């Protein structure tokens, strides 16, 4: 009987309460700030979880990530299917369209990149329209720009940037308008 108790004692995840979404987000924030090796640092962000429980969750997530499907869709598809693009009248779409239509780009004849084409591509991508094919040169510059943005986001260790991005993801994307003052006749 004692053998059974000892075997189950090692399975702490089966006896502890499930991780909430907010705890998982705090774990993610802790991993970004402190790395997976600094469990005491991460535990300062999640005080209601023991260090052993945090370490067990990290190990479980490592195992899950190794067994996850390798043929997942690209991250840009996840971004396009996120809350910020469900409403067709988002400011991002409008900004991309206006940049495409009205921004002046260099008009030199030896220019190899067509930024208007890239903004049109992004606009159509965010609207769910049929996606036009970019020229090879524009594909190159677009890929470089996206890679640079990803590098800047993932390589930063500044807590302010992470908190700001987290705030952007969590805020509602509604644009509020207020009517003018009513006048009595």
Q: How far apart are CA 60 and CA 27, in angstroms?
A: 13
Mean pLDDT, the chain, as a whole number? Answer: 74
Distances (CA, A) of 140 to 113, 114, 127, 149, 153: 9, 11, 22, 14, 20
What residue spans of the chain are helical by DSSP H?
A: 2-9, 12-15, 21-34, 39-45, 51-67, 75-80, 91-102, 115-127, 136-155, 159-170
Longest dimension (CA), the chain: 87
pLDDT at residue 13, as a whole number: 44
Of the candidates 81, 65, 67, the residue with the CA atom closest to the CA atom of residue 128 = 81
pLDDT tens digits along 120-172 = 888 888 887 888 888 888 888 888 888 888 777 766 555 666 667 667 666 65
pTM, rounded to two decimals = 0.39
Backbone φ and ψ for 52, nearest 5 degrees, come out as -65, -40
Does position 14 have pLDDT exceeding 50, yes or no? Answer: no
Q: Hey, where are the domains in the chain?
A: 21-71, 78-104+112-172
pLDDT band at 61 (very low <50, low <70, confident <90, very high): confident
Q: Mean pLDDT check: name the lowest of 16-20, 106-110, 145-149.
A: 106-110
Q: How far apart are CA 47 and CA 54, in angstroms?
A: 10
């Amino acid at each position: 009987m004692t053998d059974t108790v000892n075997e189950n004692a090692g399975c702490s995840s089966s006896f502890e309460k499930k991780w909430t979404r907010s705890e998982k987000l705090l774990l993610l924030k802790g991993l970004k700030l402190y790395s997976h090796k600094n469990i005491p640092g991460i535990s300062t962000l999640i005080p209601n979880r023991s260090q052993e429980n945090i370490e067990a969750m990290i190990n479980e997530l490592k195992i899950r990530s190794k067994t996850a499907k390798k043929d997942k869709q690209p991250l840009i598809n996840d971004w396009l299917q996120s809350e910020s693009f469900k409403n067709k009248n988002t400011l991002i779409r409008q900004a991309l369209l206006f940049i495409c239509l009205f921004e002046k780009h260099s008009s030199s004849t030896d220019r190899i990149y067509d930024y208007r084409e890239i903004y049109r591509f992004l606009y159509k991508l965010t609207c769910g329209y049929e996606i036009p094919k970019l020229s090879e040169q524009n594909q190159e510059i677009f890929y470089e720009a996206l890679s640079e943005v990803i590098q800047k986001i993932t390589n930063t260790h500044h807590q302010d940037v992470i908190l700001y991005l987290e705030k952007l993801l969590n805020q509602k994307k509604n644009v509020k308008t207020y009517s003018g003052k009513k006048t009595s006749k």
